[in-house]
Chains A and B, each alone.
Chain A
Amino acid sequence: MAESIQLEIVTPTGAVVSESVDIVTAPGGGGEFGVLANHAHFLSTLKIGTLIYKQGGTATSLMISGGFCEVSNNKITFLAEAAEKGADIDVDRAMKAKERAEKRMLEAKSQKEKIDMVRVEAALQRAIARIKTAENK
């Protein structure tokens, strides 16, 4: 078996994942990146999106939002504001959130209401990331 790397995902509400894995791919600030064992020291920001890690033959995906990640000494640490396992995601709720965000964006465009666009956009991105993550679990 190939060498593995220690994966830690930490959020403000505690550690979500702490496992030894074969490969991790994550949505970085400069684009999607993948990390294998013995990767060089690396520091990257994170975007809202899907993180996938593989261990043996099984892949697990998580919705991850905001924060950053650090690779050092064959250990990869994600400090995210939120992380949810694909299997735990409530797709219906995410779908509704997506619709709501889209509606609010339209409203914002028609200038009916003063809406915080940044927040709506972040909500929409989170909802989309949740749905995508749940689909390829």
Chain B
Amino acid sequence: MPSLKEVKTKIEGVKKTSQITKAMNMVASAKLRGAQEKMEQFRPYTAKFNEAMGSLAGNMDSSAFPLMEKREVKTAEIVVITSDRGLCGSFNANIMIMGEKMKAEYEAEGKKVTFTCVGKKGARYFAKKATVRKEYDDIMGNFQMFNARAIAQDIAANFLAGEADEVKIIYGHFISIGIQKPAVQTLLPVQPIEVEGEEAAESAGGSVDYIYEPSPAEIMGVLLPLYMNVMIYHSMLEVGASEHAARMTAMDNATNACSDIVDELTSIYNKARQAAITGDLMDIVGGAEALKG
């Protein structure tokens, strides 16, 4: 049986840990609100953007644009977006496992794989295991459109130079506060956007004639890189929100585990105290008996 003092210090320690995890939970939930807001604000932009892209791509020969060109895949690039910080459960691990799996699949087909890592966690992980072409650390906390643009430009340049023939992006998809799942999207070559349902019917029936200024090709030349920005920025927003949601859950679990441990330790402490008292009483009674005799 551990000594009373030992157990007491342990209880204090666990209580302090639970204070920290509780605070982290609250910070994460506050940050999650901000991240979700950012996502909400970006939604109309993406919606409008896809609409315009769809109406434009309909009247366009996709083979004319190098960013849309499909080539035989010799080298694939995987863009892994993770958080900068840990303590958010299995969130980052899930993304990295997915990256690892994809790498294995490509390599089984005899293709080379390079990585671009956004977020410190992924960068650290893949630095030891794979060829990391570029890494972006410490931007997940506070990023803006221009951060995404810098990343997109670098990836596009790499693609156009023929260093990569296909670019996929792995990120943590934010489904709800409880659920975040790793997801994959093809970034390059840019896939023609499918116009769904209603809009498709509309554009087929009405076949609107647009006036393009400057030429459609030039507009496409501007829109394609922008499209990459939008995709990357969107993924980063999702990862941002997912990270905080995952941390919230993880810290909540940790706080609960702490209180369980405190309960357990308290019961050990009480038993030990009882045992000590019983022991003392036995001594006194024994002593008294001896004196009587």
- What total of chain B residues lie within 8 Å of the partner, measured CB to CB? 26
User: A68-B223, A79-B52 given as contacts; is B211 within 8 A of A43 (CB)?
Assistant: yes
Q: B125 — which chain A residues lie within 8 A by C-beta? A: none
Interface residues of B in 232-261 (CB under 8 A from A): 233
Query: Is A72's CB within 8 Å of the partner chain B?
Result: yes
B241 CB → nearest A CB, Å:
15
Contact present for A12 and B218 (CB under 8 Å)? no
A43 touches B218 (CB 8 A): no
A12 / chain B contacts, CB cutoff of 8 Å? 41-42, 45, 144-145, 233
Interface pairs (24), CB distance under 8 Å: A10-B48, A12-B233, A14-B41, A14-B42, A14-B44, A29-B213, A29-B214, A29-B219, A30-B213, A41-B210, A41-B211, A42-B210, A42-B211, A42-B213, A43-B52, A43-B56, A43-B211, A43-B219, A44-B219, A45-B222, A68-B52, A68-B226, A70-B48, A79-B52
Which residues on the A side are within 8 Å of B226 (C-beta)?
A: 67-68
Cβ-based interface call for B209 (8 A): yes
Question: A111 an interface residue at 8 Å Cβ cutoff?
Answer: no
Determine whether the beta carbon of A79 is less than 8 Å from that of B222. Answer: no
Residues of B near A44 (CB, < 8 A) are: 212-214, 219
| B212 touches which of A11, A13, A43, A81 (Cβ 8 Å) | A43
Is B210 a contact of A43 with CB atoms below 8 Å? yes
8 A Cβ contacts from B31-58 to A: 38, 41-42, 44-45, 48-49, 51-52, 55-56
Complex interface bits, A42-55 against B, C-beta within 8 A gives 1, otherwise 0: 11110000000000
Residues of A within 8 A of B222 (CB): 29, 45, 68
